[in-house]
């Protein structure tokens, strides 16, 4: 009875909303709610990470427990892996990739547990010192909040997609205090096809989340800057150089992470992955302490002229007096950060690449500036470290606008917009010569499941084989005589007939045009069989093909109708080019409406 009452109340709520609140106004209200909830989620995640981290630091202050500091990340990885395996029972890694997959392949539906599971998993991983960031998990959390709120109110797929964007924008705004970067991230990284009517909800979510972050954690930017020199024209060539370096480092970051993640996936045992990931991370942190955690402390050191402090606690600290050794040490950190991050996530931890890309970018910029100073060129170290962060983010995420505005908002370095733009754009152009997709999109692009800003490709990605598959064609047996075929043709309204064996495997096709000249000659009815009259199709489509691949086959063959088979080569139906065009127009109209 109570369940029936709840359902009745729910239906009344939906009907009241439809009757009293216009759709456009309701979307704005929902965007405000999503912004508030994502701000709460961001603050909760930060609080949990600090709570765990401070509690563990209190333990490691005892000299006898110093070794625990190195082993903590392994413990965190193990706890996260057990939590995912036995509590969540679902893969919650690669948060941004999961959002892209949900948009392109799951009709913008994200599972409800993602509203909390990523917070718990990443808080444990990062709180214990995992070498990843909290941003991707909170973006997935925000997107899940938006998706599930839209689903609760039974909004259409287009609005659900917009609410996912609102959740992502709110998450970036809330965790970084960067409202413009939240909007840019949604447009560039999630690749939503934004209209003017869509920008308002995204801004509302992002600004709302940022406002609450200001209220509860203060107005100061995330990173404190020491003395930062103003931009001067004579430094443009050096910023161009830094942009190229950031683009090449981004390429290393992207391909290296992709390769290492593939290697970790080959380890089938969860416990072995924990051991391998944990041991690798422990060794790296022992030699290179800045690899512990998100790395934000090391970034602040670089921005405030305290680079030598990054060697504190390292067995290599005795080389801190040598500038050459410092450069070598920092270069090794740049090269090894991807190993630390993949060891964390591959071992079972939960985290993203936002923080690692900022970390690597800051060090890359600092190293370039230090090398220029050693060559006799006067350049500001803090400026290069700051814009290096924008360069790496732009290259790794293929998002120059996000990199520009995020770093300006993170540091309050608005007076450095010119170098931020120069380095971000050059880095983006450099990596685009080698990698057409960001690290987030690379996994989906390989499977043809990626939604992009390319309108035609995006619409084709949304189309599925089952939506265009025609199964009403009459199948023929190869033993059928011409006389029997004529009877079948007389009852059919199609001019193409698939020929299959007793087990349903496709043998060929029979076209009405091919038998039209003999079908009215009764003397031939027993002479010919379907097996003699059938022909091979111009091509055969597989059910697993993406619609973009299907269209490529149509273009290559010039065909208008092609048969479809499953992985066992059994006949499933036909796809016609005209059916694809009709479905394409339907999807295009639906997602282009304001």
Residues 202-219: pLDDT tens digits? 999 999 999 999 998 888
pLDDT tens, 276-319?
998 899 889 888 888 888 888 888 888 887 777 777 767 676 66
Binned at pLDDT 50, 70 and 90, residue 227 comes out as low
Q: What share of the chain is helix, strand, coil (3-state, %, to 5)?
A: 70, 5, 25
pLDDT at 222 over 90: no
- C-alpha to C-alpha distance for 458 and 445, rounded to whole angstroms: 12
Nearest Cα neighbor of 350 from 554, 87, 26, 32 is 87
Highest mean pLDDT: which of 99-108, 122-131, 548-557, 558-567? 122-131
The mean per-residue pLDDT over the stretch 459-488 comes to 78
The domain limits of the chain are 18-217, 233-453, 457-592
Answer left, alpha or beta for residue 504, where phi above 0 means left and psi between -120 and 50 means alpha.
Answer: left
Binned at pLDDT 50, 70 and 90, residue 11 comes out as confident
CB atoms within 10 A of CB 194: 16
Query: Six-digit token pair at 75?
Result: 């413990």
Per DSSP, 492 falls in state: -
Residues 6+ apart with CB under 8 A from 55: none
Q: Which pLDDT belongs to residue 444?
A: 57
The mean per-residue pLDDT over the stretch 341-370 comes to 91
pLDDT tens, 520-535?
777 777 888 888 888 8
CB atoms within 10 A of CB 141: 30
* Overall fold of domain 457-592: CBS-domain (3.10.580)
- pLDDT more than 90, % of the chain: 24
Nearest Cα neighbor of 252 from 335, 313, 171, 326 is 335
> Strands 506-511, 496-500: parallel, antiparallel or unpaired by DSSP?
antiparallel
Listing DSSP states for 284-313 in one string gives HHHH-GGGSTT-HHHHHHHHTT-GGGGGTT
Q: Which pLDDT belongs to residue 325?
A: 84
Q: How far is CA 400 from CA 45, 225, 437, in A?
A: 27, 22, 13
pLDDT tens, 146-182?
999 988 888 877 788 889 989 999 999 999 888 898 8
CA 259 to mean position of chain CA atoms: 17
Q: Which pLDDT belongs to residue 63?
A: 46
Q: Which pLDDT belongs to residue 590?
A: 52
pLDDT tens, 379-399?
888 889 999 999 999 999 888
Q: What is the mean pLDDT of the chain?
A: 82
The mean per-residue pLDDT over the stretch 448-456 comes to 47
Query: Six-digit token pair at 560?
Result: 């208008």
- C-alpha to C-alpha distance for 84 and 78, rounded to whole angstroms: 10
Q: Which pLDDT belongs to residue 352?
A: 86
Helix or strand run (H / E) with residue 507:
strand 506-511
Q: Is the pTM of this model over 0.85?
A: no
pLDDT tens, 258-269?
889 888 888 888
Q: Do domains 18-217 and 457-592 have the same CATH topology?
A: no
Residues 6+ apart with CB under 8 A from 224: 300, 303, 304
Helical segments of 266-380, H only: 270-287, 296-303, 323-347, 354-374
Q: Which pLDDT belongs to residue 446?
A: 56
Domain 233-453 carries which CATH code? Answer: 1.10.3080.10
Q: Which pLDDT belongs to residue 44?
A: 93
* Overall fold of domain 18-217: Clc chloride channel (1.10.3080)
């Amino acid at each position: 009875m109570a369940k029936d009452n709840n359902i009745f109340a729910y239906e009344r709520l939906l009907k009241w909303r439809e009757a009293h609140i216009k759709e456009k106004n309701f979307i704005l209200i929902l965007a405000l709610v999503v912004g508030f909830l994502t701000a709460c989620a961001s603050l909760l995640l930060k609080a949990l990470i600090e709570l765990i981290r401070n509690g563990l630091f209190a333990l490691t202050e005892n000299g006898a427990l110093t070794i625990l500091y190195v082993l903590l990340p392994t413990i965190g990885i193990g706890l996260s892996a057990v939590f995912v395996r036995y509590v969540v029972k679902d893969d919650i890694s690669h948060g941004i990739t999961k959002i892209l997959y949900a948009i392109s392949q799951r009709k913008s539906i994200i599972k409800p547990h993602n509203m909390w599971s990523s917070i718990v998993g990443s808080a444990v991983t990062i709180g214990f010192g995992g070498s990843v960031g909290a941003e991707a998990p909170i973006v997935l959390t925000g997107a899940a909040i938006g998706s599930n709120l839209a689903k609760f109110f039974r909004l259409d797929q287009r609005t659900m997609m917009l609410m996912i964007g609102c959740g992502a924008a709110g998450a970036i705004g809330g965790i970084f205090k960067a409202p413009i970067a939240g909007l840019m991230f949604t447009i560039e990284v999630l690749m939503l096809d934004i209209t003017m009517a869509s920008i308002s909800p995204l801004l509302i979510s992002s600004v709302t989340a940022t406002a609450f972050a200001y209220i509860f954690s203060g107005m100061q930017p995330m990173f404190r800057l020491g003395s930062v020199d103003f931009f001067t024209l004579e430094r443009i060539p050096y910023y161009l150089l830094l942009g190229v370096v950031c683009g090449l480092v981004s390429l290393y970051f992207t391909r290296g992470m992709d390769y290492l993640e593939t290697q970790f996936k080959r380890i089938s045992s969860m416990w072995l992955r924990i051991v391998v990931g944990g041991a690798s991370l422990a060794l790296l942190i022992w030699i290179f302490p800045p690899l512990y955690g998100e790395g934000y402390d090391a970034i602040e050191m670089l921005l405030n002229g305290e680079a030598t402090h990054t060697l504190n606690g390292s067995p290599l600290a005795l080389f801190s007096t040598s500038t050459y050794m410092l450069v070598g040490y920092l270069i090794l950190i740049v090269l090894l950060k991807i190993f630390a991050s993949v060891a964390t996530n591959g071992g079972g931890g939960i985290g993203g690449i936002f923080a690692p890309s900022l970390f690597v970018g800051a060090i890359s910029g600092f190293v370039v500036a230090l090398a220029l100073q050693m060559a006799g060129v006067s350049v500001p170290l803090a400026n290069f470290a700051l814009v290096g962060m924008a360069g790496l983010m732009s290259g790794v995420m293929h998002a120059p606008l996000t990199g520009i505005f995020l770093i300006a908002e993170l540091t309050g370095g608005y007076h450095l917009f010119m170098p931020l733009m120069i380095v971000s754009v050059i880095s983006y152009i450099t990596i685009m010569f080698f990698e057409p997709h960001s690290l987030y999109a690379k996994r989906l692009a390989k499977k043809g499941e990626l939604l992009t800003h390319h309108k035609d490709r995006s619409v084709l990605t949304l189309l599925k084989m089952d939506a265009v598959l025609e199964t009403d064609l009459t199948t023929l047996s190869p033993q059928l005589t011409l006389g029997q075929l004529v009877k079948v043709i007389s009852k059919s309204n199609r001019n193409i007939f698939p020929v299959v064996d007793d087990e349903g495997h496709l043998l060929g096709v029979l076209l009405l045009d091919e038998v039209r000249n003999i079908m009215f000659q009764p003397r031939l009815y027993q002479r010919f069989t379907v097996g003699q009259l059938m022909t091979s199709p111009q091509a055969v489509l597989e059910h697993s093909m993406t619609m973009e691949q299907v269209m490529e086959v149509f273009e290559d063959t010039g065909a208008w109708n092609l048969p479809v088979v499953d992985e066992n080569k059994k006949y499933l139906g036909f796809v016609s080019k005209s059916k694809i065009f009709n479905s394409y127009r339907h999807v295009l109209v639906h997602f282009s409406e304001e």
